[in-house]
Homo-oligomer: A and B are copies of this chain.
Amino acid sequence: MAEGSDRRAVVLLSGGLDSATVLAEAVDRGFVCHTLAVDYGQRHRAELDAAARVSRELGAVSHKVVAVDLRAIGGSALTDEIDVPTELGEGIPVTYVPARNTLMLSLALGYAEVLEAEDLFIGVNAVDYSGYPDCRPEFIAAFEALAVLATRAGVEGGGLRVHTPLIDLKKSEIVRHGTDLGVDYAMTVSCYQADAEGRACGRCDSCRLRRQGFIDAGMADPTRYV
């Protein structure tokens, strides 16, 4: 019997390459997957359309979108009127959204409580990531500790696991793994400034990491570029 048989899981879905792979993995492990996308006022609205498509195509049983207006607090090139850079720089980049993963995991946690699910999946990656502090394994471990204390499960018994199946994989390994699981990456959008049709700029951080992943994997890049 598969690990997750009949167990509900909440899978955070951005519409990008990583989270699509995570969903495919969770479905493959036998979890009954409820996907959650967070509309945090990001510039790249095409991601949200992609998330709904990915959820449907990869076999999730439901898809929800929660809107959080992060523009009210500002601070990132992804939500503010700050230019998205086209070079990989040093340190934490301006595309970092303050406390984004904390927030997304909090929403997933609330949703998990409603569903009585004890498993969360998130596509964070500590190898080919962009230098964000909230993609590190120690951050995930701290969230898991928090989650148990924060919820009904923590009071009434039960647990809470945060699954990060990509955390130690290189981008090329993610691409190969997802392809083995049947993910069609043409339907995913990773670009920070994709156009309304979901076509990628080919120049931002996220596009560069993604393109390099396909090159390193020795696979054709199905991304639609402008």
Contact = CB atoms under 8 A, between A and B. Distances in A.
A99 B92 contact: no
A142 B64 CA distance: 28
A92 to B, nearest CB: 6
A165 interface: no
- SS class, residues of chain A in contact with chain B: helix
A81 to B, nearest CB: 14
Interface in A55-81: 64-70, 72-75
Nearest to A36: B73
Contact of A102 (B92, B97, B150, B155): B150
Interface stretch (A103-111, A177-185, A214-222): A103-111
A100 to B, nearest CB: 7
- This chain's copy number in the assembly: 2
Interface stretch (A46-54, A133-141, A200-208): A133-141
B155 A92 contact: yes
A110 B73 contact: yes
Interface residues of A, number: 46
A152 B92 contact: yes
A35 to B, nearest CB: 12
Contacts of A110: 70, 73, 75, 97-100, 102-103
A8 to B, nearest CB: 13
Interface in A149-199: 149-152, 154-156
A114 B67 contact: no
Q: Nearest 9 CB-CB pairs, A to B?
A: A75-B114, A99-B110, A98-B110, A98-B113, A142-B146, A103-B106, A73-B111, A102-B106, A99-B109
23 contacts: A36-B73, A66-B69, A67-B67, A67-B72, A70-B110, A73-B110, A75-B110, A75-B114, A92-B155, A98-B110, A98-B113, A99-B150, A102-B110, A102-B146, A103-B107, A133-B150, A133-B155, A134-B151, A139-B149, A139-B150, A142-B146, A143-B146, A146-B146
